[in-house]
Amino acid sequence: MIFFCQSLAFLLNFSGEEQQEIIHKIWKLRIHNKNEREYTQRVFIFYEANKGGSLMKLAFLFHPVKDLLKSQQYYEGLGMKEAWREGNQVLGLSMPDCDVQLMIEEDELELGPGGVFVVDSVDQFYEDNQSKLNFVKTPCTIPPGRYAIYQDETGNTIRIFDSSNKD
């Protein structure tokens, strides 16, 4: 998973045309190892979902929790610090030497953990991808902007949001 995220981050350094060329070169490789073949397919799906639209940037690792206070104490015991809070239901924790924050929330337990990605426009992303992706939560309004959730082909939950409500 770390290799996959690093590889996607690497692709963000290139223009859209360069990304397309890199992805198609990867896609054309004859890969016999099942794990490498699955990885290549995931990179291609990531690229296709974002082609022509905004790219996704990982902002949070989301963990649904049953008890916010107990979870906060646990993660702070591991050296994380409270970065922000929305009431008594959602909490962001910063991790040393890491730009990605851990977000814990007493909600969406049934969907499990996963990445939360920033996109330019959730509504545009949804419009561009609703026929290609399995959306389990259509765009809705949250305090910073818009929010939606989809699942990949293996059931992993991917959350997206934008900051359209920020001043």
Q: What is the dihedral of CA 86, 100, 14, 146, to 10 degrees?
A: -20
**Is the distance from CB of 145 to CB of 167 less than 8 angstroms?**
no
> How are beta strands 90-94 and 81-86 bridged, if at all?
antiparallel
In whole angstroms, give the CA distance from residue 122 to residue 67.
Answer: 29
Q: What is the pLDDT of residue 6?
A: 39
Domains of the chain by start residue, with CATH? 2-50 (no CATH), 57-161 (3.10.180.10)
Q: What is the pLDDT of residue 12?
A: 52
Q: What is the pLDDT of residue 83?
A: 95
Question: What is the maximal distance between C-alpha atoms in the chain?
Answer: 51
**Global model pTM greater than 0.85:** no
Q: What is the pLDDT of residue 137?
A: 96
Distances (CA, A) of 39 to 61, 141, 145: 20, 33, 31
> Could you tell me the mean pLDDT of each successive run of 10 residues in the chain, 167 residues long?
41 57 53 48 49 73 95 96 92 91 92 93 94 94 92 92 82
